[in-house]
Chains A and B, each alone.
Chain A
Amino acid sequence: MMTRRISAPALVLCAIALGLATASPAAAGSDDKKVAVAIKEYAFSPAAITVPKGTTVVWTNNDETPHNVTTSGKQFKSPPLDTGDSFSWTFSQAGSFTYFCQLHPQMTGKIEVVP
């Protein structure tokens, strides 16, 4: 009775656990260090990224439902993002940041900021 269908978010979480979804670090030293994370079908994509310090991450909501970006460590919280809205955050410190959607906490993501 407990066998569950594997949903897309579950696969994403598995991918995080296996380290498969970690993107390559963005071009270090670039003047315009921006990395995009899409919000689509109740998931952050890519769900895990590694970026150099100073990178600005831009989340854009492509769903018809509002979402937001809230870090587990409460470093920042975006306002609710309606369809098409974006939110940016510049990571000036190295470290590991896990985040989720305040409306749908099953949506999680991770940013690894390297020196």
Chain B
Amino acid sequence: MSNTDDAKNRPADAGRRDALKCMGWAGAGVLWTLAGGVPRGALIGSAEAAKMPAGGLHFVQISDTHFGFAKDANPDVAGTAREAVAKINALPVRPELVLHTGDVTHLSKPTEFDQAEQVFADLKAGPIHFTPGEHDVLDDNPGALFHQRLGKGATAGGWYSFDQGGVHFIALVNVLDFKAGGLGQLGASQLEWLERDLKGVTASTPVVVFAHIPLWTIYPQWGWGTSDAAEALSYLRRFGSVTVLNGHIHQVIQKVEGNISFHSAMSTAYPQPAPGEAPSPGPMKVPADRLRQVLGVRTVEFVPGGTPPALADQILANS
């Protein structure tokens, strides 16, 4: 049994994954509430979802738009990114912010950043915050272009934090200075910054951490993990509610570890195979009429009263 199976076989995860798959095929969004560490599912649009109290914080995660990609797996990634934006704009509640968890572009080209900015300009939502993926830092001075275009408000290293709606948000960067044979990494400077940043935050404050590569090891053979994530997580364990959002693997995989829950997201560009179920993690080609069932965005809602957030992964369309 692999590490991945370990993650997959957790009963809560298995139920969630299976249910998500079923709902995905059935074409319905699923709303997940993490209560006591055990996710509960409910259909989007059901009475339960509609009863969500107003006045919390509602935001969206979008990931792996890969502007510039034009291979068989999806020859029109700008088109599916626009569909994702339309889906966000059609939400019943206007999101107060949007988090992009990286791989905005495919090859870090200025034209790709241009296209991303044009598409995201149509978002009817609060500010959009980015953290880079490894595809965004391919310029000669790695990450300089990303930082200039999308890194407003970030520290020189690219990481940053902010507070909104009573939630402390932290953008981490784990796609720089890779070592041969290694995984994603945060590095000593960023870890020191994180420890300092969290010192001023009370343990009852909900924390949302977002980064490109998963902060838990999903499948090291494909580089799906962050080598020094354990150090970062050690600073986060005292908090009552920590939600870690990431992209990179173009599929939803989840793990709950005490008060920390981890959630990888779908891409809006193309799917990737489940861990170990293909010779490599390359773009997965699915029939054209099924592509939008494996692409999507995620909504996250905090409700007043300190309950954990409700996460809903929503596919782009049924066909």
Q: Main SS of chain A's interface residues?
A: loop
Asked if B280 contacts A3 (CB within 8 A), the reply is: no
For B263, the chain A residues whose CB sits under 8 A away are: none
Complex CA gap A44/B86 in Å reads: 40
Given A82-B107, A108-B180, A65:B282 Cβ within 8 A: yes
Closest 4 CB pairs of A and B: A100-B180, A42-B280, A105-B178, A41-B280
Interfacial residues of chain A within 85-115, with CB under 8 A of chain B in the complex: 98-100, 102-106, 108
Q: Contact: B276 with A7, CB < 8 Å?
A: yes
* B181 near A100: Cβ-Cβ < 8 Å: yes
What residue of chain A has the Cβ atom nearest to residue B221's Cβ?
A7
Binds A, one of B1-9, B32-40, B93-101: B1-9
Is the CB–CB distance between A64 and B283 below 8 Å?
A: yes
Give the chain A neighbours of B27 by CB distance below 8 A: none
* B193 CB within 8 Å of chain A: no
Count A-B pairs with CB separation below 8 Å.
83
Contacts beyond the supplied A42-B282, A66-B135: 8 A-B pairs with Cβ under 8 Å: A1-B1, A7-B221, A7-B279, A41-B282, A63-B280, A64-B72, A64-B73, A105-B183
Q: Which of chain B's residues have a CB closer than 8 A to the CB of A5?
A: 2, 221, 276
Q: How large is the interface on A (under 10, 10 to 19, 20 to 34, 35 or more residues)?
A: 20 to 34
Q: Residue of B at shortest CB range from A106?
A: B223
How many chain B residues touch A (CB < 8 A): the figure is 30
B138–A108 CB distance below 8 A: no
Contact B138 A102 (CB under 8 A): yes
Question: Which residue of chain A is the closest to B176 with respect to CB atoms?
Answer: A102
Residues of B within 8 A of A (CB): 1-3, 5-6, 71-73, 106-108, 134-135, 138, 178-183, 220-223, 276, 279-283
Q: Mark interface residues in A6-30 (1 if CB within 8 Å of B CB, else 0).
A: 0111100100000000000000000
A1 to B106, alpha carbons, bound, how many Å? 35
**Cβ of B180: which chain A residues have Cβ within 8 Å of it?**
72, 98-100, 105, 108
**Residue A68 CB within 8 A of the other chain:** yes
For the complex formed, measure the closest distance between the CB of B132 and the CB atoms of chain A, giving whole angstroms: 12
Option from A4, A68, A82 in Cβ contact (under 8 Å) with B2: A4
Q: List 22 A-B contacts (CB under 8 A).
A: A1-B3, A1-B6, A5-B276, A7-B221, A41-B280, A41-B282, A42-B222, A42-B281, A65-B282, A66-B107, A66-B138, A72-B180, A79-B138, A80-B107, A82-B107, A83-B71, A98-B180, A100-B179, A102-B134, A105-B182, A106-B182, A108-B181
